[in-house]
Amino acid sequence: MTSRFRTYKDLAMGGTMQFFLWLCILPAVGIAVGLFLKSLPVLSEHSVSDLLFSSEWKPIKGKFGFLPFIISTLGVTLTAVVLAFPISLFSSVFLTEYARPYLKKYVFPFLDILAALPSVIYGVWGTLVIVPFISKHIAPYFVDFSAGYTMLAGGIVLGVSIIPLLTSLLMEIFSTVSNDLRIASLALGATRWQTAKKVIFRKTFPGIVAATVLSISRAMGETIAVLMVCGNSPIVPHSLLDACYPLPALICNNYGEMLSMPNYEAALMFAALLLFLVVIIFNLISRLILRKFNS
């Protein structure tokens, strides 16, 4: 009787945990379905190719070309990751392989605090410091005039905002490597940098990819900080010194305004769906890369 009771109890706990697993998955499915249903009015009047590859954004005339916003989102995110990744990578290597314990004791909590700062603080800093710096000291070398509200400003602010998160993640990943591997490498005559390059990086490569993709996902969804410095101009940017208009800024700026226009709300819901799908695609690509290297 006791054995049967334990079996039923185990089955009940397994079913309960499976139920909570589905509770974790269903919200994402619900979000995707809800955004798709809300986007149907604009999808019924415009083809997906017209929406994705048209650069004409005139809601009053019913023209919704998302190409400027897609390119702006990818451009700002790529700029941020290019700036943040090497800084985060080498900082995390220094903190895990070179720094003394007392330094890590104080730096690690500081990084956590920076990662938790509201994005509006980064946006204000970007508006007061980065935008004037680009306008006065960088743009004059390449263009006749720039107000500083550019893709470069958005990339810098976004890159700075994800450095604490990416550095913390990489530190955690590097810390999982056994000290025996480090000692063995050093005993064979390798330097600390050679140990990091040949042992630590190779051992933690899947984790590095996963942390980078997580940071990309965070960067793509950032709204306020980028909105404050990117210029918010619905044109296709051709350089880092052009104004841009990422998808999160488009949704934040326009939702709640002029929704009486036909299909305008549906177009904004389609923008949210695009952002959702782009993040999902990036995560799937990272999974495929990890599977290839782990096989």
Across residues 242-253, what is the average pLDDT?
Answer: 88
User: How remote is the C-alpha of 257 from its chain's centroid?
Assistant: 27
Mean pLDDT of the chain: 86
Return the pLDDT at 168: 87
Q: CA-CA distance, 52 to 57, in Å (whole number)?
A: 11
Bridge partners, residue 63, by sequence: 58
Q: CA-CA distance, 185 to 117, in Å (whole number)?
A: 39
Q: CA-CA distance, 236 to 242, in Å (whole number)?
A: 9
Instruction: Indicate whether 255 pLDDT > 60.
Output: yes
Return the pLDDT at 7: 78
Across the chain, which distance is largest between two alpha carbons, in Å?
Answer: 86
Instruction: Indicate whether 293 pLDDT > 70.
Output: no
Residues 6+ apart with CB under 8 A from 163: 84, 87, 88, 91, 114
- Count Cβ neighbours within 10 Å for each residue of 7-42 and write b for 16 or more, e otherwise: eeeeeeeeeeeeeeeeeeeeeeeeeeeebeebbebb
Sort residue 29 into left (φ over 0), alpha (ψ -120 to 50) or beta.
alpha
Instruction: Indicate whether 171 pLDDT > 60.
Output: yes
Return the pLDDT at 1: 52
Across residues 172-192, what is the average pLDDT?
Answer: 87
The candidate with the shortest Cα–Cα distance to 82, out of 185, 165, 155, 7, is 155
61-120 pLDDT tens trace:
888 889 999 999 999 999 999 999 999 999 999 988 888 887 877 887 888 888 788 888
Cα-based angle 3, 20, 272 (whole degrees, multiple of 5): 165
Q: CA-CA distance, 149 to 130, in Å (whole number)?
A: 9
Residue with token string 């249903």:
37
187-201 pLDDT tens trace:
888 888 888 888 898
Across residues 264-286, what is the average pLDDT?
Answer: 86
Reported confidence tier of residue 2, pLDDT bands at 50, 70, 90 = low
Residues 6+ apart with CB under 8 A from 124: 228
Return the pLDDT at 72: 92
Q: Indicate the pTM of the whole model.
A: 0.86
Q: CA-CA distance, 121 to 129, in Å (whole number)?
A: 12
Helix (H) or strand (E) holding 58: strand 57-58
Please report how the helices 151-175 and 101-116 are oriented relative to each other, as an axis angle in degrees rounded to 10.
140
224-245 pLDDT tens trace:
888 889 988 888 998 899 999 9
Helix (H) or strand (E) holding 211: helix 205-220
